Structure formats: structure tokens, C-alpha cells
Amino acid sequence: MASIFSKDKRIIYTRRIREFWFEFKSKKIGLAGLALIIIYVLVAVFAPFLTPYNPITQPRLAQATAMPEWITVFPGYQDYGKTQREILNWNVEKGSEFVEGWGSSAEIQYEAGKPQLVQVELSSQFSYMQMAPNEFFTLFRYEVANIKDIECSIALSLIPPEANSSYIFWRSETLTAEKSQDVTVDSKDPIFIKRLGFKLQENLGNIIFSQKGDYTFILLIQFRPLSNDAMAKVVIKNSQIVLLGRVHGILGTDYLAKDIWSHLVWGSRISLSIGLLAALVGTVIGIFVGVTSGYLGGLTDEVLMRTVDILLCLPLLPLLLALVHLYGRNVYYIVLFIGIFGWQGLARVIRSQTLSIRETPYIESARASGASGFYIMQKHIVPNIIPVAFASMILAVPSAILFEAALSFLGFGDPRVVTWGMMLQHAFGFGGFSQLAWWWIVPPGLAIIGLCMAFVFIGHAFDEIVNPRLRRRR
Amino acid sequence: MREYLLKRIIISIFILWVVATLNFVIFQVVSPLSPEDTYAPLNLDIPPETLELIRELYGLNEPMHMRYIKYIKNMFTFDFGISFVSRKPVVVEMSQRLPATVLLLGSSMVATILIGTPIGILAASKRGSKKDIVTIGAGLFTWGVPVFFIQLLFMLFFSYYWMKIFGVPLFPVRGLYSIPPLANPLAFMADVAWHIGLPLITLVVGGFGAWALYTRNILLDALTQDYIITARAKGLSERTVLYRHAFRSTLPPIVTIIALSIPGIITGAMITEWIFTLPGIGRWYLDALTGSDYPVLQAVLFMFAILTILCNLIADLLYGILDPRIRVGVRR
């Protein structure tokens, strides 16, 4: 990097930067903004270490729109439980002679014998000591193999503590051929609710797990041999029950029960990069157009400035929405479009600066000694307008961030990346408001405000140093 | 003056033509409409003759330059065609959508100016005081805060939380009037005012800071002029100096900026209409986007451009009329 500049140039630049920093230090508001940005950058860089979950691929971490965990400190919420995952370990209750192995997976073998009905009963107990969950689901996998001349059936039921009756969770059809299946029994499944004889609007989680204590799962496997050489093998695997928590993590969950804290942290990456990149694209175009137009003048100037006029007449948000809609909701397009349509104001400022620099004696002498137009623009004009351009770029960052947030909020963001605007869109569109999910609505908005304010503060401080008379309108 | 106006109008028409062409390029050249693609996802068995008929109907069989000429002619005669979705002429629907937008924006702009200007004057007259710093803060705040987030927050608290605590929401969350509409005209107006309350308040909260800061900065510029020192030296009261001398001179830029900010406010209102489900132009545009309703999209973008150009023109003319220096200069 350093080798680009000659030694005395380097000294000049370092001195300039040091002087600038000296002045910047006296602006409290600018320092506050800088500190804030450093925090955001650190969060963005260390996102993988700050987040326990993937905000896109890990749903159902708790119930949908679960509250933050720390809410349990407040009265009225103390009973709210976290997600409880229980791996079911099977014990044999009946028919142990047929069970080959048990534990987290169980293997039941029926071999040729007397043609009579055989029942194998496995049980697994777990304790649940929290407030009844709103949602739960049970998973297991069964594999039926080596089957011959036999009818077999599997049923799973749950016995609540101190109860005589049980809830039948699942029952297989009569199995006569090899089959394996992953079974999910979900408390939100209408067929399941109907089968247990409840109304659809009733909450199974609240009904079944209303008591605290030991719950017992019973797995009943029946063999009905049809001939003397009947045989079958049934394997039960990966059995677990997940009682989804009413509270989860630092900031709760959204409508798909994904982790909001992770979403928020990862969102900082996108917002920072979109804001900086779009502002950079806009600034580069703005400098190029402004300097060219100001230095060359004449027809070039006229054409470029009329282009600016035309761009200023275009309604920015509707146009961006149309472009993003037509060309695809891609984050790179969004950056590009925001940059391409966001340089008009800067170009005008740079042009007027260039006009005044062009008339200075040293440019005249450079021209007299035969320097080409390109050389003068690049060596003499651009370095002089860099501070103004930089201040303007910093102020362009928040508007780019806000534009992206607005696009995402209206549902025109890139669906593959995690952004704060998207969180607000989901909260708005998927019931965050009717459920009063403040932990879902407030954090992304505050994150946007914090980041934008940081840039506004720095830009404000910059503006005062670099160009006290410059006021931006748009 | 007439010459200047004529030149401006010619340039405006040129800009409009460019915008219209850009519209044409975006919607008909780069991603043109094709009935085949439109109906393909539906898996309907549409006979080729029907597709041909559709192509015929929308003039898709004509060569590009003919389509372009026809398109430009239609745009400049405000014949925007028929909406794909509602099957109504775009102009008719636009006139139905306009009142909601005009009502919302007009009232919010008036309220923003009425609240922001006095705050700006106060801040400028007490430069460096706490009030001034608060005003600057409020102005910077509007730079970094998405208005739609303010709207969501207000909606959350004044509609949803209010509903939970008191049983009825303080403000409704959607629509421009209750359904079915009230029969009594007075009651209907009150109903509309109630519905528009929350969007209006939030737009003012999100906008008054910038306005106050703007007024303050112009007024501060004016207060450093020599004639203010003269006025003070004459022994005029600070009040007279502020209102009769300084504030009067700020009127031209303030009026100009009102005219210039109208287009930006309209696009900003798009999100407001989306959030509060107001049947205005912005909401219409967003619905048209999801339905790929090209005639509507083209018409709205074109009308936005006309509005922007008109506002720029009006701003220029008003400046000339209000500022005596320019006015006198023109007469000579």
C-alpha cells in the first residue's frame, strides 16, 4: 500500500490525517458515532461466535413467537419454561423374551413359534416440571424387516402422571411387508387433535401436559403370526419428545420459532456491507461525473447535468422496487441500484467545487506546462475534493441502509440473506403485532436506528470540519 | 421571463420524454410481457389462437418502433390503457386512488410545517441553548430513523397494546374508513379523521425534526446578515428583528423547499399506505408490482415524474415571485 506513494507524499498524507484526527477528537458527537460503529463492526465480524443458532436453517427452537428467556425474572412469567428435549430410553415392561436390545433404540425380534398373539410393551419415563407448553412434538423411527407371514402393528401412547387413561399418540396400520418410516406426532396437527377427540381450537400441549410430574410413554408392538414359520424384526430408533418452550434465548423466537438474536446479529453484516458498498458506488460515480462535468465544461457538462436533472425527477423508491422486482431480488442488484441512483446530489456539489478549483493559478500553470486534462483531474482536482466526497459518502451510508430496510420491509429484499428489514416484514406480515411480540418488532428497528445514527453523527462531525457551509438537502 | 419559462417548459418536456422512454425500456424491452410466460405457471391449456389474440390485443405483434411511437403518444395524451388486474381504465382507477393520498399527504405536510417552523424559529433565536441542541438532535434523528419503524411502534402501542389494556384500540390499524361506511356525512368525516390519525401523527413525528432544522439553518443564515445588525443598531426590539426582518427573508427558500419536497414525501408515503392499508396511489403501485400490472406501473412512474417536474417549475417560479431581488432583476 505504502509503495504507491513517494516518501514525501506519504508524510503529507500522514500529517493531514493526523490534523484531521486532532480536530475530529474534539467533536463529542463524532466520537460517539465512531464508538457505535466499532461496536457494530465487531458484532458483524464476530457474528458466528455470538450466535448459537443459524437464523435461516434452524426453525422450531421453541414455540412460535416465544418470549426472551430473561422475561422469567418478572412476576407473572416465572413459570414459563424453556424448550425441553427428552431422548426416550426404552425399558421392557412385557414380552422381554422378544426384545434383543433396548435403550435409546430398541430391537424386537419375533421368530417362528406358536401362532399366537404376542404383545411387547416398552416404556419410557421422563419428568416435566414446567408450565404446560403450547406446542410439543414427538419423533421416532421404526424399521420393520425380515417380515414373513405375520401381521404386526405399533402404537405409541402417553400416560400422564397419576392417571389411569392414556392418550394414543400414534398407531400404525397393520404391517405385513418391510417398511421404515420417520414418525412425527405434532400437537398442531389437526388430524392428531381430532383423533384424540378434542376441538381444533383447543391446545393439546396445555391439556396433556397440564400436570407437573413423571410422564410415561408406552410403545406397544403386536405380532399376529399367520403361520408357523412367521417371523419379523422391528427396530425403534431416535425416539424423542420435544416440549417447545414458552421462552427462548436472548430475544425469543419468530413465527417459525427461529432465533431472533442470531437473526439480529447476522443482520448487522448485511446492513453494514449494503450501506457501505452502495454509498461507495454512488460516491465513485458522483466524483467521476462531478469532476468530468466541472472540468471539461461545455457539451459534456450540459449532457451530464441534464442527466442529473432527469435522475432527480425519477421517483427513487418506486423505481427501485420496480427494478428489483423485474431483475430479481438479489442483494448485489440492490446494492448496485441504490448506488446508481444515489449520486446526483454529490455530483452537483463536486461539480461546483471543481469549477472553483479549475480557476486556481496552480491548475492554470499545470495546464500551461502541458499537463493533459486527465492528468490534472486525477492529480490535482480529485485529491482536493476527496474530503468533501468522503463526508458526503458517510452521510450516504444511512440513506442506503434505510433504502435497503424499506425494500426488505416491503418484501422486495433478497430472501436468501438475513436483514433487519426482513425481520420487520415478517413481524408485520406474520402476526408479530397481534401477538404483541415486542421482542420481535423493537430490536431490528433499534438496530437500524443505532447504525444509521452512528453514521449520521460521524457525517455531521465531518461536515463541520471539512465544509461548514455545505448543507445537504436530500 | 417568458423566454425563461419557455425554455424551462421545453426542457421539462424533454425530461418527461426521457422518463417515458426509460419506462418503455424497463417494462417492454428488457423484461417484455409475453402471454406465454404469464400463463405458463398456471398450466392451463390455452390454445395458440387465444395466445395470438392476446398478443394482438396488447399490440405485441407490432414491430418495436411502432409500439414505441404508440406508447409515447399514449403517455403524453394520458391514455394509460387498462389495468391487467382490475380491468378498469388506469386513469379512472387513479382518480379513485388519488383522494386518499392527497388527504394523507396534504394534512401531514401542513401539520409538519405548522409544527416544525415555530420550533426552528425558536431554536434559531436562542442559538446554542438547550432548545437549539434539542432541535438539532431532532433534525439529525429524522436522518437516521426509518419512518416506517416509528409507524410500526406507534401502531403496536396505540392500537394493539391499547386494545389489550382498554379493550378498544385508540386508532384503527387499517383502512380509510369503517366498513360499512357511515351514512351521516359528518360522522363519515369524523371516521376518516380517526382512521387517518395514526398515519398522520407518525408522518409528522418522523418529519418535523428535519423541517425545524431546515428553518433554523436558513434563519441563522439570515440573522448573520448586515441588515439585521443595522436593524438591531436602530434599536428595534428583538421580536421585530426576528419576525419582520429575518423571518421574512427566509420565506422564499422555505416556500421553494416545500414545493421541492412534495415528490419525495409522496414516495415516502408509499410505505405509510402499505402499513395502514390506505387505498392510495402508493398502495396501488405496490399491489400492481406484485401483480406485474405494467400499465399501472408505467402510469404511476410517469405521473410521479410529471409531478416532480411541475413542483420544480413551481419552486423556481415562486422563488422568482417571492424574492424581490430576482423579481426586480427580471423586470429590468
Judge: B152–A424 Cβ closer than 8 Å, yes or no. yes
Judge: B31–A310 Cβ closer than 8 Å, yes or no. no
A319 closest CB neighbour out of B143, B260, B301: B301
| DSSP secondary structure letter of residue A240 | E
Joined together, the cell numbers standing for residue B102 give 392527497
Angle at A17 between CA A11 and CA A21, to 5 degrees: 145
Joined together, the cell numbers standing for residue B33 give 410481457
| Residue A423: Cβ-neighbour burial (10 angstroms; 0-12, 13-18, 19+) | buried
Q: Which residues from A are below 8 Å from B159, CB to CB?
A: 433
Interface test with A, best of B256, B266, B289 (most A CBs within 10 A): B289
Cα–Cα distance measured from residue A255 to residue A60, given in angstroms and rounded to the nearest whole number: 9
Cα–Cα distance measured from residue A281 to residue A273, given in angstroms and rounded to the nearest whole number: 12
| Residues whose CB falls within 8 Å of the CB of residue A384, separated by 6 or more in sequence, listed in order | A353, A357
| Residues whose CB falls within 8 Å of the CB of residue B276, separated by 6 or more in sequence, listed in order | B151, B155, B173, B174, B175, B195, B198, B199
Q: Which residues from A are below 8 Å from B297, CB to CB?
A: 322
Judge: A433–B156 Cβ closer than 8 Å, yes or no. yes
Cα–Cα distance measured from residue A68 to residue A66, given in angstroms and rounded to the nearest whole number: 7
- Per DSSP bridges, beta strands A99-101 and A150-159 are unpaired
pLDDT value, residue B111: 94
Tens digit of each residue's pLDDT, chain A (474 residues): 445 667 777 888 888 888 888 888 888 889 999 999 999 999 999 999 998 888 888 888 899 899 999 999 999 888 888 999 999 999 998 888 888 877 888 888 888 776 688 889 999 999 998 888 999 999 999 999 888 888 899 999 999 988 778 899 999 988 888 999 999 999 988 999 998 889 988 888 888 998 888 999 999 999 888 888 888 889 998 899 999 999 998 999 999 999 999 999 999 999 999 999 999 999 999 999 999 999 988 899 989 988 888 888 788 889 899 999 888 889 999 999 999 988 888 898 899 889 888 888 888 888 888 888 888 888 888 888 888 888 888 989 998 999 999 999 999 999 888 899 999 999 999 989 999 999 999 999 999 999 999 999 998 888 778 764 544 333
Angle at B211 between CA B280 and CA B103, to 5 degrees: 20
Say whether residue A474 is in contact with chain B using an 8 A CB cutoff: yes
Joined together, the cell numbers standing for residue A268 give 448487522
| Closest by Cα among A31, A88, A12 to A457 | A31
Say whether residue A381 is in contact with chain B using an 8 A CB cutoff: no
Joined together, the cell numbers standing for residue A361 give 493559478
B185 conformational bin, left if phi > 0, alpha if psi -120 to 50, beta if neither = alpha
Residues 70-129 of B with CB under 8 A from A: none
Say whether residue B281 is in contact with chain A using an 8 A CB cutoff: no
Looking at the complex, report in whole angstroms how far the Cα of residue A410 sits from the nearest Cα belonging to chain B. 7
Q: What is the ipTM of this complex?
A: 0.88
Contact B177, B103 (CB under 8 A): no
Judge: B144–A474 Cβ closer than 8 Å, yes or no. no
Looking at the complex, report in whole angstroms how far the Cα of residue B245 sits from the nearest Cα belonging to chain A. 22
pLDDT value, residue B67: 87
A449 closest CB neighbour out of B18, B144, B290: B144
Judge: A312–B274 Cβ closer than 8 Å, yes or no. no
* pLDDT tens digits, one per residue of B139-158: 888 878 889 999 999 999 99
Residues 25-64 of B with CB under 8 A from A: 26-27, 30-31
Architecture of domain B98-331: Orthogonal Bundle (1.10)
Q: Which residues from B are below 8 Å from A433, CB to CB?
A: 152, 155-156, 159-160, 173
Cα–Cα distance measured from residue A93 to residue B241, given in angstroms and rounded to the nearest whole number: 98
Q: For the packed helices A7-25 and A438-466, what is the interaxial angle rounded to 10 degrees? A: 120
Q: Which residues from A are below 8 Å from B308, CB to CB?
A: 312-315
Judge: B26–A326 Cβ closer than 8 Å, yes or no. yes
Judge: B152–A441 Cβ closer than 8 Å, yes or no. yes
Q: Which residues from B are below 8 Å from A438, CB to CB?
A: 156
A313 closest CB neighbour out of B217, B267, B308: B308
C-alpha Rg value of chain B to the nearest Å: 25
Say whether residue A102 is in contact with chain B using an 8 A CB cutoff: no
Residues of chain B with pLDDT under 50: 330-332
Say whether residue B161 is in contact with chain A using an 8 A CB cutoff: yes
